[in-house]
Amino acid sequence: MKINTKKILIAAGVFLTVLISGITIYRTYLTPDAIRNLAQKALEARFQKKVVINKFEVDFLNQPRITVGQISMGIEGGYAMQASSMIARFSPWYLLIGRLEIKDVTINNPQFTIDFEKLNLKGPTKKIPTIIIHQGNARLIYKTHAMDVSNIQGFIGRKKVSLDADTLGGTIVISATNTLKTWRGKATAGHINLSQLDSRYQGISGMDVTFSKHEGNYDFSADLAGENLKLPWMKSLRRAKLTLDAEGNERVLILNKVALKSSLIDARGNANVTGIKDPLNAH
């Protein structure tokens, strides 16, 4: 039998090249430490925040994922987060070119802190993956006021949002979808105990809001109702209802319909509000 030495040498050379390349790729990108570094860089790029990882595991067999334990993110941009664990699903093929492409993130038992005066969400939100939240809690801060939110469940994506939570003795549900660059959604709140918001207030309230937003323009309608209300600037009311129908942008708010009905007053009207630039910092 005639042996072709040249072909054997070529085959051996190709085999060695593939083997060396595979070892190089593994040592550079596929070891646990390498993937941990890629994961930290990917999470910091997605959330635009410093991320601290205390525990780390990677699983290639069961829907490739990384599990991060005891994770925390700093307060930069007006919000911070700590969580008992975070699971991020990723595409393994991008690892071959030194990238960790995260598909979605599941956060278990997160604790959020959001300071609305410092909040800045103008970063590259297109890079943020779908975030699924299980049993979350949050503290919302505005100036000297703080409100706690518990039992947060749902998800936040680039095209869809669905969340529900408990706060002030009641419940809040928010849902929205983004179609053709227009956000449309609804928010409801029920059995909100105003005394838990401020000791000077009394009563139970609820609301239904529908809204849409396209680029810098928005419109919304809202129904707010309350029972057994007692506020510092007015007499006690057994029942009251406020209805709003509005539209606007960052410069003007047009109230097409304002209706207030209670045992003391039944009024309707409309109004234009101008000079609005940043409602969070308005005084």
pLDDT tens for residues 133-171? 999 999 988 887 788 999 999 998 888 999 999 999 999
Each residue of 107-117: pLDDT tens digit?
A: 999 999 988 87
Closest CA to 228 of 210, 203, 250: 203
The pLDDT value recorded for residue 188 is: 95
Look at residue 2 and tell me whether its pLDDT is greater than 80. Answer: no
C-alpha atoms less than 13 angstroms from C-alpha of 282 in its C-beta half-sphere? 10
Phi then psi for 75, rounded to 5 degrees? -85, 0
The proportion of the chain whose per-residue pLDDT surpasses 70, expressed as a percent, equals 80
Phi then psi for 250, rounded to 5 degrees? -70, -10
The residues facing 135 across adjacent strands are: none
Rounded CA separation 186/179 (Å): 15
Phi then psi for 264, rounded to 5 degrees? -105, -25
pTM above 0.85, yes or no: no
Report whether 149 contacts 138 (CB < 8 A).
yes
Q: Cβ–Cβ contacts within 10 Å for residue 13, how many?
A: 10
C-alpha atoms less than 13 angstroms from C-alpha of 216 in its C-beta half-sphere? 8
Look at residue 283 and tell me whether its pLDDT is greater than 80. Answer: no
Question: What rounded mean pLDDT belongs to the chain?
Answer: 80
